[in-house]
């Protein structure tokens, strides 16, 4: 869809949403809108001179069909959500640069087919643009254009899915795997995400051992890029992953995941007919261990400890390159490749035990995270440390915000910075 067409669809959807606001129920059809604003300021923490502000404001509109799901008859439903994001950045000349990003966030058709599977099973089919992730959390979590088929059996479920990332708006996608992808990400004329095909299949056993849930599966991605500059490269990869999670005692929950990658990396070579040198094969490893400990009345406090590992290039292993980098909820993202990251987070909801209180959603948290290269004992391995605090509050169902203050100390201490972030969100 051309952007001009998309703008027209977005405007029509927004107007339709506004027109529907005063009405009550609309059969199974529902429409709504969300507004999110994020302002970030980065300041050099030694001189306080280099002020780097940026703003990101997003308005989205959605329409969805939510019929009553029948346990015996096929049921269809859909969700369409589109957004426009305004990015404001201050350049080196202290002038604001503005950019608009139009995106179809979700365009999803879902069907449930109780009669397709054996008795007690439910078959679900989804097609369109939708979020897709694999259960280890180490390899991929983003949207795709594709389809997924899920079989829910009483004791386990199976998911088969495939999709394409090359039509997503690059600004809203986290797919970055190669130097060529990085070049595209910083190129203002490249509007879409890297062209990659994905296929995945995984199985979940919700209560494999007592209350422990076990997942296992595979994911493969094929780089569809056809043009390479001199420093470019092509990367195909396949992943095997397994994950286990569940309670550990009365108040503790954990996730543990392991993934291995098989990679075929082809550097650019202009002397070759296809512009690529022969592929170099490699094997990488990724791992995740996370524990959450709840304490206090109404679980008002939670301590989260998390460690992530992604192998780097070495004698026996090569770099573990995930399709999307792991989400560690930090102001400065940590790469999943050649990385060891440890994080400790404490969150406290002082009014959690007071039902109906408007202060119930107030959450105060503090955290610290340190990251190094995969081998922390090697010289120059240290990447950086981040520490910060957040205040999150949603006093009304359709209005909320967050204040986030942090400091980041990279290996070059002269590049340390303070970061302040304010977020508002509302829904209509």
Partner 1 sequence: MKTGVFVLLLGIAAVFSLPAQTAEIIETIGNESEISVGSAAYIAAASSNLIEPDASPRQALDALADRGYRAGGDAEDESVRLDRFAYMLMVAHDLPGGVMYSLFPGPRYAFREFEFERILRGGGNPGDPLSGTRALRLTGRVLSIVEARG
Positions in the binding site for partner 1 (CB under 8 A): 21-28, 30, 66-69, 354-357, 394, 396-399, 426-428
Q: For the CB of residue 233, give the shortest distance to partner 1 in the complex, in Å.
A: 45
Q: For the CB of residue 358, give the shortest distance to partner 1 in the complex, in Å.
A: 9
Q: 157, 135 in Cβ contact below 8 A?
A: no
Q: For the CB of residue 64, give the shortest distance to partner 1 in the complex, in Å.
A: 10
- Give the Cα separation of 150 and 134 in Å (integer): 13
Nearer to partner 1, 100 or 428 (CB): 428
Q: 110, 78 in Cβ contact below 8 A?
A: yes
Nearer to partner 1, 89 or 354 (CB): 354
Closest-CA residue to 134 (of 261, 283, 311, 226): 261
Nearer to partner 1, 27 or 226 (CB): 27
Q: For the CB of residue 161, give the shortest distance to partner 1 in the complex, in Å.
A: 22
C-alpha torsion angle, residues 293, 305, 347, 215 (rounded to 10): -70
Q: 218, 243 in Cβ contact below 8 A?
A: no
SS (H, E, C) 98-153: EEEEEEEEEEEEEEEECCCCCCCCEEEEEEEEEEEECCCCCCCEEEEEEEEEEEEC
The two three-digit tokens of residue 418, written as one number? 């303070």
Q: For the CB of residue 396, give the shortest distance to partner 1 in the complex, in Å.
A: 4
Nearer to partner 1, 68 or 413 (CB): 68
CA distances from 204 to 160, 319, 324 (A): 12, 28, 22
Nearer to partner 1, 24 or 380 (CB): 24
Nearer to partner 1, 67 or 376 (CB): 67
Q: 419, 406 in Cβ contact below 8 A?
A: yes
Q: For the CB of residue 22, give the shortest distance to partner 1 in the complex, in Å.
A: 5
Nearer to partner 1, 27 or 72 (CB): 27
Neighbours of 281 (CB within 10 A): 10
Q: For the CB of residue 301, give the shortest distance to partner 1 in the complex, in Å.
A: 19
Residue 187 Cα to chain centre, angstroms: 22
Q: For the CB of residue 156, give the shortest distance to partner 1 in the complex, in Å.
A: 21
Beta bridge pairs of residue 88: 55, 98
> What stretches of 179-294 show up as alpha helix (H) in DSSP?
179-185
Nearer to partner 1, 66 or 229 (CB): 66
Nearer to partner 1, 67 or 76 (CB): 67
Q: C-alpha angle with apex 280: 278 to 282, nearest 5 degrees?
A: 160
- 107-135 in b/e form (b: 16+ CB < 10 A) is bbbbebebeeeeeeebbbbbbbbbebbbb
């Amino acid at each position: 869809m051309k952007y001009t067409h998309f703008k027209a669809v977005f405007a029509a959807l927004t107007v339709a949403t506004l027109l529907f606001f005063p009405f009550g129920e609309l059969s199974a059809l529902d429409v709504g809108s969300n507004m999110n604003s994020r302002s970030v300021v980065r300041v050099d923490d030694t001189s306080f001179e280099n002020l780097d502000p940026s703003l990101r404001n997003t308005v989205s509109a959605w329409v969805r069909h939510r019929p009553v799901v029948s346990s015996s008859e096929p049921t269809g439903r859909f969700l369409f959500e589109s957004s426009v994001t305004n990015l404001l950045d201050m350049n080196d000349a202290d002038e604001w640069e503005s950019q608009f990003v139009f995106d179809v966030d979700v365009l999803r058709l879902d069907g449930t087919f109780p009669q397709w599977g054996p008795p007690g099973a439910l078959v679900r089919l989804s097609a369109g643009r939708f979020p897709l992730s694999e259960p280890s959390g180490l390899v991929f979590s983003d949207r795709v254009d594709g389809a997924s088929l899920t079989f829910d059996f009483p004791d386990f479920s199976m998911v088969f899915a495939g999709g394409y990332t090359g039509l997503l708006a690059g600004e809203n996608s986290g797919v970055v795997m190669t130097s060529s992808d990085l070049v595209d990400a910083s190129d203002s004329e490249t509007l879409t995400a890297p062209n990659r095909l994905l296929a995945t299949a995984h199985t979940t056993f919700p209560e494999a051992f007592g209350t422990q849930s076990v997942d296992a599966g595979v994911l493969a991605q094929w780089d569809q890029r056809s043009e390479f500059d001199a420093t470019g490269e092509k990367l195909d990869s396949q992943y095997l992953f397994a994950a286990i999670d569940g309670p550990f005692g009365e108040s503790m929950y954990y996730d543990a995941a392991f993934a291995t990658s098989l990679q075929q990396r082809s550097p650019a070579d202009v002397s070759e007919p296809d512009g690529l040198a022969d592929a170099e094969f490699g094997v990488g490893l990724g791992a995740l261990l996370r524990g959450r400990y709840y304490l206090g009345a109404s679980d008002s406090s939670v301590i989260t400890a998390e460690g992530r590992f992604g192998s780097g290039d070495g004698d026996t292993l090569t770099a573990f390159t995930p399709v999307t980098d792991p989400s560690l909820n930090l102001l400065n993202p940590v790469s999943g490749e050649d990385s060891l990251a440890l994080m400790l987070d404490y969150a406290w909801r002082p009014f959690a035990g007071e039902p109906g209180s408007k202060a119930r959603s107030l959450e105060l948290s503090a955290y610290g995270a340190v990251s190094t290269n995969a081998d922390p004992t090697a010289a120059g391995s240290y990447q950086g440390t981040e520490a910060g605090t957040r205040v999150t509050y949603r006093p009304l169902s359709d209005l909320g915000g967050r204040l986030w203050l942090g400091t980041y100390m990279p290996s070059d201490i002269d590049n340390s910075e303070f970061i302040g972030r304010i977020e508002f969100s509302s829904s209509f």
